[in-house]
Chains A and B, each alone.
Chain A
Amino acid sequence: VTIRGKAYIAGIYEHPRREIPDRTIPQIHAELALGAVADAGLTLDDVDAYFTDSTIPGMGSLSMIEYLGLSVSYVDNTETGGSSYLAHVGHAASAIAAGKCQVALCTLAGKPRTSRGRWGGGGGEQPPEGSFEGLWGLAGAPYNYALAATRHMYEFGTTSAQLAEIKVAASLHAQHNPNAFLRDVVTVEEVLASPMISDPLHRMDCCVITDGGGACVVVSPEVARTLDRPRVKILGHGESPKHTNNGRVDLTYSGAVWSGPRAFAEAGVAQGDIDYASIYDSFTITVLETIEDLGFCEKGKGGEFVLDGALVAPHGKLPFNTDGGGLCNNHPANRGGMTKVLEAVRQVRGEAHPAVQVPDCQVALAHGTGGALSTRMGSATLILGQEDA
Protein backbone atom coordinates (compact mmCIF):
# COMPACT_ATOMS: atom_id res chain seq x y z
CA VAL A 1 0.00 0.00 0.00
CA THR A 2 1.30 3.45 -0.85
CA ILE A 3 -0.19 6.91 -0.69
CA ARG A 4 0.73 7.64 -4.30
CA GLY A 5 -2.20 9.30 -5.94
CA LYS A 6 -4.45 8.77 -2.96
CA ALA A 7 -4.50 12.34 -1.68
CA TYR A 8 -4.23 15.88 -3.05
CA ILE A 9 -3.56 19.35 -1.66
CA ALA A 10 -6.69 21.31 -2.49
CA GLY A 11 -6.29 24.62 -0.70
CA ILE A 12 -3.56 26.87 0.63
CA TYR A 13 -3.34 30.15 2.50
CA GLU A 14 -0.38 32.17 3.76
CA HIS A 15 -1.00 34.93 6.26
CA PRO A 16 -0.33 38.24 4.48
CA ARG A 17 1.26 39.92 7.49
CA ARG A 18 4.75 39.52 8.95
CA GLU A 19 4.27 41.15 12.35
CA ILE A 20 0.96 40.51 14.10
CA PRO A 21 0.97 41.90 17.64
CA ASP A 22 -2.80 42.45 17.51
CA ARG A 23 -3.76 38.79 17.21
CA THR A 24 -3.63 35.83 19.55
CA ILE A 25 -1.98 32.68 18.24
CA PRO A 26 -5.29 30.76 18.10
CA GLN A 27 -6.75 33.70 16.20
CA ILE A 28 -3.98 33.46 13.60
CA HIS A 29 -4.57 29.71 13.28
CA ALA A 30 -8.26 30.52 12.75
CA GLU A 31 -7.51 33.04 10.02
CA LEU A 32 -5.23 30.56 8.29
CA ALA A 33 -7.80 27.79 8.56
CA LEU A 34 -10.56 29.96 7.10
CA GLY A 35 -8.24 31.10 4.32
CA ALA A 36 -7.14 27.62 3.33
CA VAL A 37 -10.59 26.06 3.27
CA ALA A 38 -11.91 29.05 1.32
CA ASP A 39 -9.11 28.64 -1.21
CA ALA A 40 -10.20 25.04 -1.66
CA GLY A 41 -13.84 26.02 -2.02
CA LEU A 42 -14.66 24.28 1.25
CA THR A 43 -15.78 25.39 4.69
CA LEU A 44 -14.62 24.37 8.14
CA ASP A 45 -17.71 22.17 8.35
CA ASP A 46 -16.10 19.96 5.70
CA VAL A 47 -12.94 19.41 7.76
CA ASP A 48 -12.75 15.98 9.40
CA ALA A 49 -9.07 15.85 10.39
CA TYR A 50 -6.72 18.33 12.01
CA PHE A 51 -2.93 18.34 11.95
CA THR A 52 -0.72 20.75 13.84
CA ASP A 53 2.38 20.97 16.03
CA SER A 54 2.85 21.22 19.78
CA THR A 55 3.17 25.00 20.00
CA ILE A 56 -0.49 25.93 20.32
CA PRO A 57 -1.07 27.20 23.86
CA GLY A 58 -3.00 24.88 26.14
CA MET A 59 -3.95 21.38 25.01
CA GLY A 60 -2.56 21.96 21.52
CA SER A 61 -4.84 20.61 18.87
CA LEU A 62 -7.58 19.92 21.42
CA SER A 63 -7.69 23.59 22.39
CA MET A 64 -7.69 24.61 18.74
CA ILE A 65 -10.38 22.14 17.66
CA GLU A 66 -12.57 23.50 20.45
CA TYR A 67 -11.80 27.12 19.52
CA LEU A 68 -12.77 26.51 15.90
CA GLY A 69 -15.75 24.34 16.69
CA LEU A 70 -14.48 21.48 14.54
CA SER A 71 -15.82 17.96 14.50
CA VAL A 72 -13.06 15.60 13.42
CA SER A 73 -12.28 11.90 13.32
CA TYR A 74 -8.51 12.21 13.16
CA VAL A 75 -5.90 14.31 14.97
CA ASP A 76 -2.13 14.41 14.60
CA ASN A 77 0.29 16.54 16.64
CA THR A 78 3.53 15.10 15.35
CA GLU A 79 6.27 17.38 16.62
CA THR A 80 9.50 17.30 14.64
CA GLY A 81 10.34 20.99 14.68
CA GLY A 82 10.41 22.69 11.33
CA SER A 83 9.86 19.45 9.48
CA SER A 84 6.58 18.79 11.27
CA TYR A 85 4.43 20.24 8.53
CA LEU A 86 5.81 18.04 5.78
CA ALA A 87 5.20 15.13 8.08
CA HIS A 88 1.66 16.36 8.69
CA VAL A 89 0.94 16.36 4.97
CA GLY A 90 2.36 12.88 4.64
CA HIS A 91 0.41 11.63 7.64
CA ALA A 92 -2.72 13.26 6.29
CA ALA A 93 -2.26 11.48 2.98
CA SER A 94 -1.78 8.19 4.78
CA ALA A 95 -4.86 8.76 6.87
CA ILE A 96 -6.89 9.66 3.80
CA ALA A 97 -5.59 6.64 1.92
CA ALA A 98 -6.61 4.50 4.84
CA GLY A 99 -10.10 5.94 4.86
CA LYS A 100 -9.70 7.63 8.23
CA CYS A 101 -10.68 11.07 6.96
CA GLN A 102 -11.34 13.03 3.79
CA VAL A 103 -10.55 16.69 4.47
CA ALA A 104 -7.45 17.27 6.57
CA LEU A 105 -6.68 20.77 7.78
CA CYS A 106 -3.02 21.50 8.60
CA THR A 107 -2.05 24.79 10.26
CA LEU A 108 1.10 26.46 11.55
CA ALA A 109 1.15 29.81 13.35
CA GLY A 110 3.39 31.71 15.73
CA LYS A 111 4.46 35.17 16.80
CA PRO A 112 8.22 35.00 17.26
CA ARG A 113 8.70 38.55 15.92
CA THR A 114 6.23 40.00 18.40
CA SER A 115 7.71 37.98 21.26
CA ARG A 116 11.36 38.57 20.34
CA GLY A 117 13.77 37.55 23.03
CA ARG A 118 11.57 34.73 24.30
CA TRP A 119 12.17 31.17 23.27
CA GLY A 120 9.41 29.52 21.28
CA GLY A 121 6.79 30.77 18.89
CA GLY A 122 4.16 30.59 21.61
CA GLY A 123 5.60 33.65 23.26
CA GLY A 124 4.25 32.44 26.58
CA GLU A 125 0.70 33.03 25.43
CA GLN A 126 -2.11 31.54 27.47
CA PRO A 127 -4.38 28.94 25.89
CA PRO A 128 -7.59 30.34 24.46
CA GLU A 129 -9.64 28.95 27.33
CA GLY A 130 -6.95 30.38 29.64
CA SER A 131 -8.33 32.59 32.35
CA PHE A 132 -11.85 31.24 31.98
CA GLU A 133 -10.78 27.95 33.53
CA GLY A 134 -7.54 28.73 35.30
CA LEU A 135 -8.67 31.03 38.10
CA TRP A 136 -10.98 28.84 40.14
CA GLY A 137 -8.52 26.69 42.03
CA LEU A 138 -8.57 23.58 39.86
CA ALA A 139 -5.10 22.09 39.82
CA GLY A 140 -4.54 18.60 38.53
CA ALA A 141 -6.85 16.03 37.11
CA PRO A 142 -9.20 14.88 39.91
CA TYR A 143 -11.34 17.99 40.00
CA ASN A 144 -12.53 17.92 36.42
CA TYR A 145 -13.33 14.23 36.78
CA ALA A 146 -15.18 14.98 39.99
CA LEU A 147 -17.35 17.50 38.16
CA ALA A 148 -18.21 14.79 35.64
CA ALA A 149 -18.99 12.34 38.43
CA THR A 150 -21.31 14.80 40.19
CA ARG A 151 -23.28 15.36 37.02
CA HIS A 152 -23.43 11.65 36.18
CA MET A 153 -24.78 10.96 39.67
CA TYR A 154 -27.36 13.74 39.28
CA GLU A 155 -28.64 12.60 35.90
CA PHE A 156 -28.53 8.83 36.36
CA GLY A 157 -28.48 8.12 40.09
CA THR A 158 -24.99 6.64 39.95
CA THR A 159 -23.57 6.08 43.45
CA SER A 160 -20.13 6.20 45.06
CA ALA A 161 -20.54 2.54 45.99
CA GLN A 162 -21.01 1.67 42.31
CA LEU A 163 -17.87 3.59 41.39
CA ALA A 164 -16.04 1.77 44.16
CA GLU A 165 -16.86 -1.59 42.54
CA ILE A 166 -14.52 -0.59 39.70
CA LYS A 167 -11.60 -0.06 42.08
CA VAL A 168 -12.42 -3.34 43.84
CA ALA A 169 -12.27 -5.24 40.53
CA ALA A 170 -8.95 -3.62 39.66
CA SER A 171 -7.51 -4.56 43.04
CA LEU A 172 -8.63 -8.18 42.64
CA HIS A 173 -6.55 -8.26 39.46
CA ALA A 174 -3.56 -6.35 40.84
CA GLN A 175 -3.02 -8.91 43.59
CA HIS A 176 -1.69 -11.24 40.90
CA ASN A 177 0.71 -8.69 39.39
CA PRO A 178 4.01 -8.72 41.28
CA ASN A 179 4.93 -5.36 39.76
CA ALA A 180 1.70 -3.59 40.66
CA PHE A 181 2.13 -0.45 42.73
CA LEU A 182 -0.87 -1.40 44.90
CA ARG A 183 -1.40 -5.15 45.41
CA ASP A 184 -3.84 -5.23 48.33
CA VAL A 185 -7.40 -6.29 47.60
CA VAL A 186 -9.78 -3.59 48.80
CA THR A 187 -13.50 -3.56 49.57
CA VAL A 188 -16.23 -1.12 48.62
CA GLU A 189 -16.30 0.00 52.25
CA GLU A 190 -12.58 0.75 52.20
CA VAL A 191 -12.91 2.82 49.04
CA LEU A 192 -15.75 4.82 50.56
CA ALA A 193 -13.78 5.32 53.77
CA SER A 194 -10.69 6.64 51.99
CA PRO A 195 -10.21 10.42 52.19
CA MET A 196 -12.31 12.62 49.94
CA ILE A 197 -10.09 14.31 47.37
CA SER A 198 -12.65 16.24 45.37
CA ASP A 199 -16.27 15.32 46.06
CA PRO A 200 -17.54 12.81 45.09
CA LEU A 201 -14.17 11.18 44.32
CA HIS A 202 -12.23 9.52 47.14
CA ARG A 203 -8.53 8.79 47.11
CA MET A 204 -9.25 5.21 46.03
CA ASP A 205 -11.29 6.46 43.09
CA CYS A 206 -8.03 7.89 41.75
CA CYS A 207 -5.25 6.12 39.86
CA VAL A 208 -1.74 5.68 41.16
CA ILE A 209 1.05 8.12 40.35
CA THR A 210 4.03 6.14 39.05
CA ASP A 211 7.20 6.56 37.08
CA GLY A 212 7.98 4.23 34.22
CA GLY A 213 6.47 3.66 30.83
CA GLY A 214 5.82 1.14 28.09
CA ALA A 215 6.37 0.55 24.41
CA CYS A 216 5.14 -1.60 21.57
CA VAL A 217 6.28 -2.43 18.06
CA VAL A 218 3.93 -2.47 15.11
CA VAL A 219 5.07 -4.44 12.07
CA SER A 220 3.86 -5.43 8.65
CA PRO A 221 2.14 -8.80 8.09
CA GLU A 222 5.23 -9.98 6.21
CA VAL A 223 7.49 -9.29 9.18
CA ALA A 224 4.96 -10.66 11.63
CA ARG A 225 4.91 -13.99 9.80
CA THR A 226 8.66 -14.36 10.33
CA LEU A 227 8.46 -13.88 14.09
CA ASP A 228 8.09 -16.60 16.65
CA ARG A 229 5.46 -14.87 18.77
CA PRO A 230 1.66 -15.12 18.92
CA ARG A 231 0.37 -12.65 16.38
CA VAL A 232 -1.91 -9.90 17.60
CA LYS A 233 -3.75 -8.38 14.72
CA ILE A 234 -4.90 -4.78 14.72
CA LEU A 235 -8.54 -5.09 13.72
CA GLY A 236 -9.78 -1.58 14.13
CA HIS A 237 -9.05 1.89 15.34
CA GLY A 238 -11.14 4.94 16.06
CA GLU A 239 -10.37 8.29 17.57
CA SER A 240 -12.11 11.49 18.38
CA PRO A 241 -11.44 14.56 20.40
CA LYS A 242 -14.30 16.03 22.37
CA HIS A 243 -14.44 19.63 23.51
CA THR A 244 -16.64 22.01 25.44
CA ASN A 245 -18.79 22.68 22.38
CA ASN A 246 -18.95 26.45 22.62
CA GLY A 247 -19.56 26.42 26.35
CA ARG A 248 -22.32 23.79 26.16
CA VAL A 249 -20.15 21.16 27.82
CA ASP A 250 -21.94 17.89 28.59
CA LEU A 251 -20.10 16.06 31.35
CA THR A 252 -22.04 12.82 31.04
CA TYR A 253 -20.33 11.35 28.00
CA SER A 254 -16.83 11.12 26.54
CA GLY A 255 -15.32 11.06 23.07
CA ALA A 256 -15.66 7.26 23.20
CA VAL A 257 -19.18 7.69 21.83
CA TRP A 258 -17.48 8.47 18.51
CA SER A 259 -14.15 6.62 18.66
CA GLY A 260 -15.84 3.38 19.74
CA PRO A 261 -18.24 3.00 16.80
CA ARG A 262 -15.43 3.89 14.37
CA ALA A 263 -13.25 1.13 15.80
CA PHE A 264 -16.06 -1.44 15.95
CA ALA A 265 -17.03 -0.67 12.36
CA GLU A 266 -13.50 -1.01 11.07
CA ALA A 267 -12.94 -4.22 13.00
CA GLY A 268 -16.25 -5.67 11.93
CA VAL A 269 -17.04 -6.77 15.46
CA ALA A 270 -19.65 -5.79 18.02
CA GLN A 271 -19.58 -5.29 21.78
CA GLY A 272 -20.63 -8.89 22.33
CA ASP A 273 -17.50 -10.08 20.52
CA ILE A 274 -15.13 -8.39 22.97
CA ASP A 275 -13.57 -10.98 25.26
CA TYR A 276 -11.44 -8.54 27.23
CA ALA A 277 -11.29 -4.74 27.55
CA SER A 278 -8.53 -2.42 28.72
CA ILE A 279 -10.52 0.63 29.78
CA TYR A 280 -8.68 3.82 30.67
CA ASP A 281 -8.97 4.19 34.42
CA SER A 282 -7.46 7.45 35.56
CA PHE A 283 -10.45 7.54 37.89
CA THR A 284 -13.35 5.20 38.53
CA ILE A 285 -15.75 7.59 36.79
CA THR A 286 -13.57 7.38 33.67
CA VAL A 287 -14.28 3.66 33.44
CA LEU A 288 -17.98 4.04 34.14
CA GLU A 289 -18.59 6.66 31.46
CA THR A 290 -16.40 4.85 28.95
CA ILE A 291 -18.18 1.51 29.37
CA GLU A 292 -21.45 3.28 28.57
CA ASP A 293 -20.00 5.28 25.72
CA LEU A 294 -18.49 2.21 24.07
CA GLY A 295 -21.94 0.65 24.11
CA PHE A 296 -21.35 -2.15 26.61
CA CYS A 297 -24.50 -0.89 28.32
CA GLU A 298 -27.06 1.85 27.89
CA LYS A 299 -26.05 5.42 28.78
CA GLY A 300 -26.66 5.94 32.48
CA LYS A 301 -26.69 2.22 33.32
CA GLY A 302 -22.95 1.92 33.98
CA GLY A 303 -23.50 1.94 37.72
CA GLU A 304 -25.65 -1.16 37.49
CA PHE A 305 -23.41 -2.79 34.90
CA VAL A 306 -20.32 -2.86 37.12
CA LEU A 307 -22.07 -4.67 39.99
CA ASP A 308 -21.77 -8.39 40.77
CA GLY A 309 -18.20 -8.70 39.56
CA ALA A 310 -18.98 -7.77 35.96
CA LEU A 311 -15.44 -6.45 35.45
CA VAL A 312 -13.63 -9.25 37.27
CA ALA A 313 -11.55 -11.67 35.20
CA PRO A 314 -11.74 -14.27 33.99
CA HIS A 315 -15.47 -14.86 34.12
CA GLY A 316 -17.13 -11.45 34.51
CA LYS A 317 -19.36 -10.03 31.78
CA LEU A 318 -16.55 -7.70 30.70
CA PRO A 319 -13.17 -8.62 32.20
CA PHE A 320 -11.16 -5.41 32.36
CA ASN A 321 -7.68 -4.16 33.25
CA THR A 322 -6.30 -7.50 34.34
CA ASP A 323 -2.90 -5.98 35.12
CA GLY A 324 -4.55 -3.95 37.86
CA GLY A 325 -4.93 -0.95 35.58
CA GLY A 326 -4.10 2.60 36.43
CA LEU A 327 -6.13 2.32 39.61
CA CYS A 328 -3.72 -0.22 41.14
CA ASN A 329 -0.87 -1.19 38.84
CA ASN A 330 0.67 1.61 36.84
CA HIS A 331 -0.06 5.04 35.35
CA PRO A 332 3.38 6.04 34.08
CA ALA A 333 3.96 9.71 33.28
CA ASN A 334 0.33 10.30 34.27
CA ARG A 335 -0.65 8.69 30.97
CA GLY A 336 -2.22 5.26 31.02
CA GLY A 337 -2.68 4.67 27.31
CA MET A 338 0.31 2.48 26.59
CA THR A 339 -0.31 0.11 29.49
CA LYS A 340 -3.85 -0.34 28.18
CA VAL A 341 -2.47 -1.61 24.87
CA LEU A 342 0.09 -3.86 26.54
CA GLU A 343 -2.38 -5.77 28.72
CA ALA A 344 -4.74 -6.22 25.78
CA VAL A 345 -1.84 -7.77 23.84
CA ARG A 346 -1.03 -10.08 26.77
CA GLN A 347 -4.65 -11.24 26.85
CA VAL A 348 -4.82 -11.95 23.12
CA ARG A 349 -1.49 -13.80 23.32
CA GLY A 350 -2.76 -15.77 26.29
CA GLU A 351 0.10 -14.40 28.36
CA ALA A 352 -1.78 -12.59 31.10
CA HIS A 353 -1.44 -13.96 34.62
CA PRO A 354 -3.18 -17.36 34.70
CA ALA A 355 -5.51 -16.19 37.46
CA VAL A 356 -6.90 -13.44 35.25
CA GLN A 357 -6.31 -14.78 31.73
CA VAL A 358 -9.58 -14.82 29.80
CA PRO A 359 -9.93 -18.30 28.23
CA ASP A 360 -9.31 -18.16 24.47
CA CYS A 361 -9.31 -14.39 24.28
CA GLN A 362 -10.07 -13.91 20.58
CA VAL A 363 -10.85 -10.20 20.52
CA ALA A 364 -9.73 -7.47 22.89
CA LEU A 365 -10.47 -3.78 23.08
CA ALA A 366 -8.18 -1.07 24.45
CA HIS A 367 -9.40 2.43 25.09
CA GLY A 368 -7.48 5.57 25.96
CA THR A 369 -8.63 8.87 27.43
CA GLY A 370 -6.63 12.09 27.49
CA GLY A 371 -7.15 15.50 29.01
CA ALA A 372 -10.19 16.21 31.16
CA LEU A 373 -13.03 13.70 30.97
CA SER A 374 -15.92 14.89 28.83
CA THR A 375 -14.60 18.44 28.52
CA ARG A 376 -11.45 18.96 26.47
CA MET A 377 -10.31 15.44 25.80
CA GLY A 378 -8.78 12.95 23.46
CA SER A 379 -10.36 9.57 22.93
CA ALA A 380 -8.93 6.57 21.08
CA THR A 381 -10.14 2.99 20.73
CA LEU A 382 -8.19 0.00 19.43
CA ILE A 383 -9.55 -3.46 18.73
CA LEU A 384 -7.06 -6.31 18.60
CA GLY A 385 -7.53 -9.95 17.80
CA GLN A 386 -5.97 -13.32 17.27
CA GLU A 387 -4.82 -14.22 13.78
CA ASP A 388 -8.14 -15.79 12.85
CA ALA A 389 -10.33 -13.20 14.54
Chain B
Amino acid sequence: MPMSPLPNPAPQPNLETQEFWDATADGRFLLKRCDSCATVIWYPRFVCPACHAIETSWFEASGKGIVYSYTIVRRGQGPYQDAAPFVVAYVELEEGPRVMTNLVDVELDAIEVGMAVEVVWHDTGEGNALYRFRPAS
Protein backbone atom coordinates (compact mmCIF):
# COMPACT_ATOMS: atom_id res chain seq x y z
CA MET B 1 0.00 0.00 0.00
CA PRO B 2 1.20 3.57 -0.68
CA MET B 3 2.49 5.86 2.05
CA SER B 4 -0.31 7.88 3.56
CA PRO B 5 0.01 11.67 3.73
CA LEU B 6 -2.58 11.68 6.52
CA PRO B 7 -3.01 10.03 9.90
CA ASN B 8 -4.64 6.62 9.68
CA PRO B 9 -6.97 6.17 12.64
CA ALA B 10 -8.20 2.61 12.81
CA PRO B 11 -11.89 1.88 12.34
CA GLN B 12 -13.87 0.03 14.96
CA PRO B 13 -15.48 -2.81 13.05
CA ASN B 14 -18.67 -4.15 14.60
CA LEU B 15 -20.80 -7.20 14.05
CA GLU B 16 -22.39 -5.63 10.99
CA THR B 17 -19.24 -4.20 9.42
CA GLN B 18 -16.48 -6.70 10.19
CA GLU B 19 -16.52 -8.18 6.68
CA PHE B 20 -16.27 -4.76 5.11
CA TRP B 21 -13.20 -3.81 7.13
CA ASP B 22 -11.56 -7.22 6.78
CA ALA B 23 -11.74 -6.88 2.99
CA THR B 24 -9.98 -3.52 3.11
CA ALA B 25 -6.80 -5.32 4.12
CA ASP B 26 -6.80 -6.85 0.62
CA GLY B 27 -7.71 -3.57 -1.04
CA ARG B 28 -11.27 -4.68 -1.75
CA PHE B 29 -14.15 -2.20 -1.34
CA LEU B 30 -17.20 -4.27 -0.47
CA LEU B 31 -20.76 -3.05 -0.77
CA LYS B 32 -23.98 -4.76 0.22
CA ARG B 33 -26.81 -5.30 -2.22
CA CYS B 34 -30.35 -6.20 -1.16
CA ASP B 35 -31.31 -9.69 -2.34
CA SER B 36 -34.91 -8.59 -2.58
CA CYS B 37 -34.94 -5.18 -4.30
CA ALA B 38 -31.30 -5.01 -5.55
CA THR B 39 -30.69 -1.62 -3.90
CA VAL B 40 -27.02 -1.00 -3.15
CA ILE B 41 -26.77 -0.30 0.58
CA TRP B 42 -24.47 2.24 2.29
CA TYR B 43 -23.30 2.17 5.05
CA PRO B 44 -23.40 -1.64 5.45
CA ARG B 45 -26.19 -2.82 7.74
CA PHE B 46 -28.47 -5.66 8.69
CA VAL B 47 -31.62 -4.39 7.02
CA CYS B 48 -32.21 -2.92 3.57
CA PRO B 49 -33.25 0.70 4.21
CA ALA B 50 -35.17 0.75 0.93
CA CYS B 51 -37.48 -2.27 1.29
CA HIS B 52 -36.65 -3.49 4.83
CA ALA B 53 -35.72 -6.99 3.74
CA ILE B 54 -32.99 -8.58 5.84
CA GLU B 55 -31.40 -10.77 3.16
CA THR B 56 -28.40 -8.94 1.71
CA SER B 57 -25.17 -9.96 -0.06
CA TRP B 58 -21.69 -8.45 -0.32
CA PHE B 59 -20.12 -7.65 -3.69
CA GLU B 60 -16.93 -5.84 -4.68
CA ALA B 61 -17.22 -2.25 -5.87
CA SER B 62 -15.12 -0.82 -8.70
CA GLY B 63 -13.43 1.74 -6.47
CA LYS B 64 -14.20 4.48 -8.98
CA GLY B 65 -16.35 7.53 -8.53
CA ILE B 66 -16.69 11.29 -8.81
CA VAL B 67 -16.39 14.08 -6.26
CA TYR B 68 -19.87 15.07 -5.05
CA SER B 69 -18.67 17.78 -2.64
CA TYR B 70 -15.54 18.66 -0.68
CA THR B 71 -14.12 21.02 1.89
CA ILE B 72 -10.57 21.96 2.79
CA VAL B 73 -10.24 21.66 6.55
CA ARG B 74 -7.99 24.45 7.77
CA ARG B 75 -7.68 23.38 11.39
CA GLY B 76 -7.29 19.73 12.30
CA GLN B 77 -8.29 18.12 15.56
CA GLY B 78 -7.61 14.83 17.27
CA PRO B 79 -5.45 12.54 15.12
CA TYR B 80 -5.57 15.23 12.43
CA GLN B 81 -4.18 17.92 14.76
CA ASP B 82 -1.14 18.57 12.57
CA ALA B 83 -2.58 17.44 9.24
CA ALA B 84 -4.29 20.64 8.05
CA PRO B 85 -4.90 21.67 5.41
CA PHE B 86 -6.48 18.44 4.23
CA VAL B 87 -9.54 17.54 2.19
CA VAL B 88 -12.75 15.85 3.29
CA ALA B 89 -15.16 14.91 0.53
CA TYR B 90 -18.19 12.97 -0.42
CA VAL B 91 -17.35 10.70 -3.35
CA GLU B 92 -20.21 9.30 -5.39
CA LEU B 93 -19.30 5.70 -6.19
CA GLU B 94 -20.11 4.25 -9.61
CA GLU B 95 -22.52 1.96 -7.77
CA GLY B 96 -24.53 4.92 -6.42
CA PRO B 97 -23.71 5.60 -2.78
CA ARG B 98 -22.01 8.85 -1.77
CA VAL B 99 -19.34 8.03 0.79
CA MET B 100 -17.46 10.37 3.08
CA THR B 101 -13.69 10.17 2.64
CA ASN B 102 -10.47 12.13 2.14
CA LEU B 103 -9.04 13.23 -1.20
CA VAL B 104 -5.27 12.71 -1.44
CA ASP B 105 -2.47 13.05 -3.97
CA VAL B 106 -4.04 16.19 -5.42
CA GLU B 107 -3.24 19.92 -5.37
CA LEU B 108 -5.83 21.75 -3.27
CA ASP B 109 -6.63 24.24 -6.01
CA ALA B 110 -7.06 21.49 -8.58
CA ILE B 111 -10.03 19.87 -6.85
CA GLU B 112 -13.40 20.25 -8.53
CA VAL B 113 -16.85 18.89 -7.87
CA GLY B 114 -17.43 16.24 -10.51
CA MET B 115 -13.80 15.22 -10.98
CA ALA B 116 -13.15 11.51 -11.51
CA VAL B 117 -11.40 9.72 -8.65
CA GLU B 118 -10.29 6.22 -7.72
CA VAL B 119 -9.78 4.51 -4.41
CA VAL B 120 -6.40 4.27 -2.72
CA TRP B 121 -5.84 2.28 0.46
CA HIS B 122 -3.91 3.38 3.53
CA ASP B 123 -2.89 0.75 6.06
CA THR B 124 -3.99 1.42 9.63
CA GLY B 125 -1.53 -1.11 11.04
CA GLU B 126 -4.42 -2.92 12.69
CA GLY B 127 -5.40 -5.43 10.05
CA ASN B 128 -7.41 -3.09 7.87
CA ALA B 129 -7.04 -0.04 5.66
CA LEU B 130 -8.75 3.29 5.04
CA TYR B 131 -10.34 3.99 1.67
CA ARG B 132 -9.30 7.36 0.34
CA PHE B 133 -9.55 8.71 -3.18
CA ARG B 134 -7.13 10.33 -5.65
CA PRO B 135 -7.62 11.68 -9.17
CA ALA B 136 -8.36 8.83 -11.56
CA SER B 137 -5.38 7.71 -13.61
Contacts and interface: CB of A to CB of B under 8 A. Distances in A.
B30 interface: no
B9 A135 contact: yes
B74 A198 contact: yes
Contacts of B45: 26-27, 30, 67, 128
A52 to B, nearest CB: 16
A202 B113 CA distance: 20
Given A24-B15, A68-B52, A131-B21, A247 B41 contact: yes
A67 B50 CA distance: 10
Interface string A18-56: 000011101100110010000000011100000000000
A67 B47 contact: yes
B57 to A, nearest CB: 16
Contacts of A45: 52
Contacts of B63: none
Nearest to A66: B49
Interface in B6-60: 6-7, 9, 11-17, 21, 39-43, 45-50, 52, 54
B99 interface: yes
Contacts of A69: 47-50, 52
Contacts of A197: 74-75
A286 B16 CA distance: 33
A198 B72 contact: yes
Q: Which of B14, B40, B68 neighbours the largest number of chain A CB atoms within 10 Å of its CB?
A: B14
A130 B77 contact: no
Interface in A177-228: 195-201
Contact of B72 (A22, A132, A199, A246): A199
B16 A248 contact: no
A199 B109 CA distance: 11
B136 interface: no
A23 to B, nearest CB: 6
Given A139-B78, A198-B74, A246-B49, A131 B68 contact: no
A71 to B, nearest CB: 10
Contacts, number: 147
A139 B80 contact: yes
B21 A147 contact: no
Contact of A151 (B43, B69, B75): B69
A79 to B, nearest CB: 24
Contacts of B73: 137-138, 143, 198
B102 A137 contact: yes
B47 A137 contact: no
B12 A247 contact: no
B90 interface: yes
A154 B69 contact: yes
A193 B50 CA distance: 45
B62 to A, nearest CB: 15
Given A131-B12, A132-B100, A247 B69 contact: no
B99 A247 contact: yes
A185 to B, nearest CB: 26
B76 to A, nearest CB: 6
A133 B100 contact: yes
Nearest to A137: B80
Contacts of B79: 137
Contact of A249 (B70, B71, B88, B90): B90
Contacts of B89: 147
Given A136-B101, A247-B42, A248-B97, A147 B52 contact: no
Contacts of B72: 196, 198-199
A246 B69 contact: no
9 tightest A-B CB contacts, nearest first: A69-B49, A247-B42, A247-B97, A131-B11, A146-B71, A137-B80, A139-B77, A151-B69, A199-B72
28 contacts: A22-B15, A26-B16, A26-B46, A45-B52, A67-B45, A68-B52, A125-B14, A126-B12, A126-B14, A128-B16, A128-B43, A130-B12, A132-B42, A136-B88, A136-B102, A137-B77, A137-B80, A137-B86, A138-B88, A138-B100, A139-B77, A150-B71, A154-B114, A198-B73, A199-B72, A245-B49, A246-B49, A248-B96
